[in-house]
Structure 1
Amino acid sequence: MTSTSNIELTQTFHYSTNTHSYDVRWTSLGDEVLPPVIFVHGTPWSSRVWHVYAQSLARYFHVYLFDNPGFGDSPLGKPLPSKAGSISKEVALDADLAQQSEVYAALYHSWEQEWGNKKAHVVAHDHGGLMSLRAHILHGCEYASLCLIDVVAMGPFGQPLFKLVAENEGVFTSLTPTVFEGVVESYIRDAAHNQLSKETMEMLKRPWVSSDEGKRGFVRQLMQANSRNTEEVESKYAEVGKKLPIRIIWGKQDGWLPVDIAERLKEKLNAKEVVLIDGAGHLIMYDQQAKLGVELTWWLSQVPR
């Protein structure tokens, strides 16, 4: 992997729903007059997976990075008192990504105020795809273009591990630190087609293995994945491709989300093509960093600014 300096998320966006308050950490790179590009990460990752691309593209775009609530530098949402005075329970299961998407949409609209008549190009990975689509369909986020990379956006969902964790939550949260770290490392390794560097593996697993809160968060993410569904928005996908340019990029060896999902998504969204990258699994940004960089650069240079 190409070496890159760490990007600090120096800004905080505060947002409250009827039940929770959120503090989302974010930052932007590049000249504010340039066209905006937003990178959206999935699970169990953070905005750090986009650092190399953000730093490179910041010469030509105003690039935004943020961590979803409960990931990276953004804490999980805090429950608010109800009208009756009781405290809402922690959002333990947000399988539809309803809360995540609402918070992202609010963040998007806050940035939008600085753009004038411009719209942002959005690049999304994993469940960031469903978040981006929900924000567009349900929350009025208008994009200049949408690039979907190995995204969670269509059912059916589920891996044997997801079901196992969902049925044995207590077992996994009670694992010793060493055993639990092995589970996390194995899970992350399975997402890549090629061997990850020690530095990359440490960065990806650290948030989940360094504390009990991280352990609970990782288990929660797997339980959500087991219950994921897209019923509220999937029937509306056909209209998305009629309104904005869409590009679908997929790792040819993605063992989590096989390429047939990409083809079905293309049809659903009325997208023109699926770009397959050979030698890449689900973590395409590490398996084939250069190839993905070329595809992203080409796409962003082609779509209207």
Structure 2
Amino acid sequence: MASTSTIEVTQTFHHSTTTHRYDIRWTSLGDKALPPLIFVHGTPWSSRVWHVYAQSLSSYFHVYLFDNPGFGDSPLGQPLPGKEDSISKAVALDADLAQQSEVYAALYHFWAQGWGTKKAHVVAHDHGGLMSLRAHILHGCEYASLCLIDVVAMGPFGQPLFKLVAENEAVFNALTPTVFEGVVESYIRDAAHNDLSKETMGMLKRPWVSSDEGRRGFVRQLMQANSRSTDEVEPKYSAVGRKMPIRIIWGKQDGWLPVEIAERLKEKLNAKEVVLIDGAGHLIMYDQQAKLGVELTWWLSRISS
């Protein structure tokens, strides 16, 4: 697959939970009469990681893209008036996937109003996997199929960097912009098996290094990454594969989430198969863009027919 022009998330979905108000940026591509297809990103990425696939598949599907709260073009959720004192430090950005999943589910139901009896195919990466599963199990989002790519979906979690940042928040927030940018680049580079182009690295790191707010957000999401919890939904995974087709795709050289996690998840979800892509790490969409494109196209054409 070749590179494509940037897709702007120009529409805004407003949603309030019991504690926050969210303004989620989203867009869609393709004929509205086509089957719906949703791409869900993880951390510390945005919907931009899906642009090539969204553009290519929009000839066959009505494709939806969105940025999670605090990522890409979607701002962090804002506390509702009078709720500031009741919100814990953990209820922000990446860590509180319960809130992010609730917001995504509300967005899904909003989109579904125009689908009639159709259900969406969902492709999810990283913590987008846990979001998609929570939305289905807890919030009634019914999918036509689910494709999980190097996903965060089972505990326990943790990388050494998460603990280091959590124990030294003030130090990381005090880093000079140049040093901080080096930390972000190193973190992103570690997610890929192959070298990232200068253009791709610039796009991935820009939201986190171009402002004080972005730098604080990056530190916060690393601090909170260990606090994701699957306890509420993981015991219910076995029923998911009996309700819809599930495919698991994994980078064979994923250094963040080793391939044995894919096999464990397959058993938990009653999924039919795990597809391993050689020469790919966690950022499989950049390591092996064409191979992932073939796997997605084959999967979606097969289940759609």
Q: What TM-score range do you get, normalising by the shorter chain?
A: over 0.9
Deviation at residue 169 of structure 1 after TM alignment: 0.9
User: Counterparts of 1:168-187 in structure 2 under 5 Å?
Assistant: 168-187=168-187
Match of 2:67 in 1: 67
Contact 2:76 2:93 in 1 (8 A): no
Q: CA RMSD in A?
A: 1.5
Once the two structures are TM-superposed, the CA of residue 95 in structure 1 deviates from its matched residue by 2.9
**1:8 Cα deviation after fit:** 0.6
CA contact (8 A) 1:41 1:124 kept: yes
1:70-120 CA distance string (max 9 Å, x none): 00000000111237x968567336635001000000000000000000000
TM-score (normalizing by structure 2): 0.97
Q: Deviations over 1:26-64 (max 9, x none)?
A: 000000000000000000000000000000000000000
1:108 maps to 2:108: yes
CA distance in structure 2 between the aligned counterparts of 1:202 and 1:87, rounded to whole angstroms:
37
Pairing 1:150-189 to 2, within 5 Å after superposition: 150-189=150-189
Structure 1 residues without counterparts, runs of 5 or longer: none
**1:80/1:87 contact within 8 Å kept:** no
Alpha-carbon separation, structure 1, partners of 2:192 and 2:173: 25
Specify the SS of the correspondent of 1:230.
coil
1:70/1:94 CA distance change after superposition, 3 Å: closer
Q: Does the alignment pair 1:190 with 2:190?
A: yes
Is residue 2:288 matched to residue 1:291? no
Moved over 4 A (4+): 85-90
Are the counterparts in 1 of residues 181 and 209 from structure 2 also a CA contact under 8 Å?
A: yes
Q: Secondary structure at the match of 1:286?
A: helix
**Worse-matched range after superposition: 85-94 or 219-228:** 85-94
What SS does the aligned partner of 1:72 have?
coil
Q: What is the CA deviation profile of residues 156-197 of structure 1, one whole-angstrom value per residue up to 9, with x for unaligned ones?
A: 210100110111111111111000000000000000000000
Q: CA deviation at 1:139?
A: 0.3
Q: Which residue of 1 aligns with 2:231?
A: 231
Q: Secondary structure at the match of 2:189?
A: helix
Give the distance between the partners of 1:239 and 1:158, measured in 2 at CA: 27
Count of aligned residue pairs for this structure pair: 304
Once structures 1 and 2 are overlaid, which stretch shifts more, 153-162 or 194-203? 153-162
Q: Do 2:93 and 2:217's aligned partners in 1 also have CA atoms closer than 8 Å? A: no
Contact 2:70–2:93, Cα closer than 8 Å, also in 1: no
What TM-score results when the alignment is normalised by the length of structure 1?
0.97
Offset, 1:226: 2.0
Identity of aligned residues (%): 86
Instruction: Please give the alpha-carbon distance, in whole angstroms, between the structure 2 residues aligned to 1:93 and 1:168.
Output: 19
Aligned-partner Cα distance in 2 for 1:89–1:260: 34
Q: Is the 8 A contact 2:121 2:143 kept in 1?
A: yes
Aligned to 2:54, the other structure's residue is in SS state helix
Structure 1 Cα separation of the partners of residues 225 and 86 of structure 2: 26
Q: How does 1:255-266 map to 2 (within 5 A)?
A: 255-266=255-266
Q: Unpaired segments of 5 or more residues in structure 2?
A: none
